Structure 1
Amino acid sequence: MTDPRLVGTWTTVLEDDGKSVVGLASFTGDGGVTCYQANTKNIGLGNWESTGKDSFTYNFHIIAVSPEGEHVGEAHVFVTGDFVSEDRWEGSGGANFYSPAGDLLRGHEGSKVTARKFGIDK
């Protein structure tokens, strides 16, 4: 089940250890999501679904690389959100960080996420 209100591109703000990290998230009608946060060097790819009348969840993975381009691990990000208006939602998120071999290194949850939808200016 997907909610058509989420389809499109959103400017996100993640509260990460007292810092506001701006990002972009684009949601497709078939449940795909592409995300970018200013504190990462790569995009994240994942999926999303509605979980209720005004709620949804999404996740995405980011491949981490060294400055030399070597794979150094992955971040698996997860977010739950609730619409507060047609063009704004608020939620909570977290991430688990894995080594290249797939071993869990660390994780966190409960970070506040807010988002505002944007479209074509006329």
Structure 2
Amino acid sequence: MPVRKRVEAFVDAVVNGDHGEAIANFYHPDASMQENREPPREGRDQLIVHEQAGMRRIQSMITHQPEAVLVDGDHVAIAWTFDSVGKDGVTRRLHEVALQEWRGDRIARERFVYDSATAWQPVSSPDNSKD
């Protein structure tokens, strides 16, 4: 079961931008991640490779402070907002809830829940800012 300070350290690592490093430091070697109801990706090394590949496809990622972080024993829920700035300069936003199962002080399983119809919709472009 994670202590709240450990969960907060994970949140800080993600907000500060190096998602691959956060995976390396906070996930079990046999951890899994799952997008909505898609098949899970398995193994920390593969999770890092997948994350790094995604980051190479964009210009930058802005991770906002979570709206909520709930810790209940081995279960953690985090309400995230991410802004992805594409190589085309367009900013797209994702609101998601990460449902995590921790084993000790590391994440063993994580499932991301979001509305796929509104995921990564543009919120601004180089020519026209929208909020």
TM, length-normalised to structure 2: 0.47
Higher helix share: 2
TM-score, normalising length from structure 1? 0.49
Higher strand share: 1
